[in-house]
Amino acid sequence: MLSKIKTCSIHGLSVTMIEVEVDISNGLPNVNVVGLPDVAIKESKERVRAAIKNSDLGFPLKRITINLSPADTKKEGSHFDLPIALGILGASNQLPMEELEDTLVLGELSLDGKTNKINGVLPMLLAMHEQGIRKVILPSNNLEEAKIVDGIEIVPIERLSDIISYLKKEKSLPSYIGESNYFSETSIATEDFKDLHGQENLKRGLEIAASGNHNLLMIGPPGSGKTMAAKRVPSILPKLSFIEALEITKIYSIAGLICSEEGLVKVRPFRSPHHTSSLVSLTGGGRIPRPGEVSLSHYGVLFLDELPEFSRALLETLRQPLEERQIHLSRVNGSFTYPADFMLIAAMNPCPCGYYGSNNSCNCTASQVKRYISKISGPLLDRIDLIVETSAVEYKELTESKEAECSEKIRARVEKARDIQIERYKKTKYLFNSQLGGASIKKYCVLTPTAKKLMNLAYDKMNLSARGYSRILKVSRTIADLDSSDLIEEKHLAEALQYRNINELIP
């Protein structure tokens, strides 16, 4: 007898409807899985066999052929266990199949018949809901994530025996209807800028970066608060919108980083990979391509501490996602595109010992400092909008009773500047000043006559590239927005130039 069960397969963020066809015929006991299955699916026949037996059901001792249709699409993942098990039980007349005709089935099985949490539920259900699926059976650990999909009926199960009894109408199971509005409230990071004493120049730079979604590099001695400040950047960014939270959750779902109790990612990501991280861990990829750190920091912050310690090849891979806000991965089994719209915050010492230009004596020679700085290429520095110098915090600043400005006040100014940008670009493809390019820079970054004279002087004196010139204009536009000014004035441009002159910070 033949049975058919609907499930799906995911490649990157692309989802394909899959039909699990199970045929049982006379012959020597054997189980064959065809249709380009990966290793996890080929091994599923052993998990399914044990799960069926340990659920007090009979595993048919016949020739079983399992086809994953369409046969020319490669399938990956352990979520095929449950549809295969139900297909075998249906084909052996142990289970009525009428209830499963228009139902999506997902789930991994333990040997004792218990269902395990699977990855990628949110993107799979969103895609299948668009294709007309209105009901899904999945592990109970994925319930909160599934409830984000508006209008879909969810039947969560804990064991294989639960769904058997449900389909035989021996007992009822609770079902839920997804409702996206329930998850509309997102949160703000708890780290606060009031804990950071001194460093007013750094705080100002981070406020500008957050307002226009610019990239920023901090240069200063050890212990000057670079890492502490970077960790607090998410606290001055606006709350996630539901659409943004949904996009982030899809990426985290594929990576297996969703908490069973939360379902939706409600706080802007902050990712801080170590400088020994591999290329694959940063950009994504692997045998089964998974999102890397650049995608996991989507709509959030990617913080690279000790920037020169990262390998040159690894840093150069950031150039494309910094420009295109997404990353393309090409592998033998296909091409994948993941979103990567992040704020890059980086930190470094001015020299190998870390104390060049500070009160402490520096033991580095000029050639050592240049060799250290040369680990960061010019094209990468060109993609960083603001370069901020930090200095050691004075004892007086650490012990003063006056409390530093809190993140809430800074965030209010950031939100005001972003609202101005949203209104300005509402009829364009842009959201932030950092995304402007080409003719749009000339249109929206208008200088006053005195500012034009200053820009003309700075271009030659600072040996700016065309990209560096554009980035100064975009930062100036953000500073003007913080000042609620329609035109970029001389003071706005002067401040932007101050965050660009790397030659004064490094010999």
The span from the CA of 338 to the CA of 293, in Å, is 11
Indicate whether 152 and 245 sit together in one domain: no
Q: Is residue 222 part of a domain?
A: yes
Indicate whether 94 and 55 sit together in one domain: yes
Cβ neighbours of residue 312 closer than 8 Å, sequence gap 6 or more: 375, 377
High-pLDDT (> 70) share of the chain, %: 97
DSSP symbols for 258-314: --TTT-S--S--EE---TT--HHHHHEETTTTEE-HHHHTTTSEEEESSGGGS-HHH
The span from the CA of 87 to the CA of 104, in Å, is 12
Indicate whether 160 and 237 sit together in one domain: no
Indicate whether 166 and 259 sit together in one domain: no
DSSP symbols for 320-349: HHHHHSEEEEEETTEEEEEE---EEEEEE-
The span from the CA of 126 to the CA of 141, in Å, is 18
pLDDT (average), residues 322-350: 89
pLDDT (average), residues 201-227: 93
Closest-CA residue to 245 (of 299, 175, 320):
299
Indicate whether 266 and 217 sit together in one domain: yes
Residue-level pLDDT at 500? 81
The CA distances from residue 356 to 198, 345, 366, 388, in Å, are 20, 21, 10, 15
pLDDT at residue 350 greater than cutoff 50: yes
Total domains, the chain: 2
Instruction: Report residue 173's pLDDT band, with 50, 70 and 90 as the boundaries.
Output: very high
Indicate whether 342 and 367 sit together in one domain: yes
Residue-level pLDDT at 112? 96
Residue-level pLDDT at 507? 47
pLDDT (average), residues 261-270: 86
Residue-level pLDDT at 451? 95
**Final residue belonging to a domain, choices 143, 161, 182:** 182
Residue 162: CATH number of its domain? 3.30.230.10
Radius of gyration of the chain (CA): 28
Indicate whether 151 and 200 sit together in one domain: no
Report whether 179 contacts 146 (CB < 8 A): no
Instruction: Name the burial class of residue 304, with classes exposed (0-12), middle (13-18) and buried (19+) by CB atoms within 10 angstroms of its CB.
Output: buried
Residue-level pLDDT at 255? 92
Residue 292: CATH number of its domain? 3.40.50.300
| pLDDT tens-digit series, residues 14-31 | 899 999 999 999 999 999
Domain coverage including residue 131: 2-182
Indicate whether 236 and 333 sit together in one domain: yes
* Residue written as token pair 């228009």: 102
pLDDT at residue 285 greater than cutoff 90: no
**Final residue belonging to a domain, choices 135, 158, 182:** 182
Q: Is residue 188 part of a domain?
A: no
| pLDDT tens-digit series, residues 36-46 | 999 999 999 99
The span from the CA of 118 to the CA of 105, in Å, is 12
pLDDT at residue 349 greater than cutoff 80: yes
Q: Is residue 363 part of a domain?
A: yes
Q: Is residue 161 part of a domain?
A: yes
Residue-level pLDDT at 482? 96
Q: Is residue 187 part of a domain?
A: no
**Final residue belonging to a domain, choices 182, 210, 226:** 182
Indicate whether 244 and 134 sit together in one domain: no
Indicate whether 449 and 358 sit together in one domain: yes
| pLDDT tens-digit series, residues 42-60 | 999 999 999 999 999 999 9
Reduced to 3 states, what is the DSSP secondary structure of residue 81? Answer: helix
High-pLDDT (> 90) share of the chain, %: 69
Show the tokens assigned to 205.
């730079």
pLDDT (average), residues 466-477: 92
Residue-level pLDDT at 354? 85
pLDDT (average), residues 240-269: 89
Indicate whether 286 and 401 sit together in one domain: yes
Indicate whether 287 and 358 sit together in one domain: yes
Mean pLDDT of the chain: 90
The span from the CA of 283 to the CA of 328, in Å, is 9
Residue-level pLDDT at 182? 52
pLDDT at residue 192 greater than cutoff 70: yes
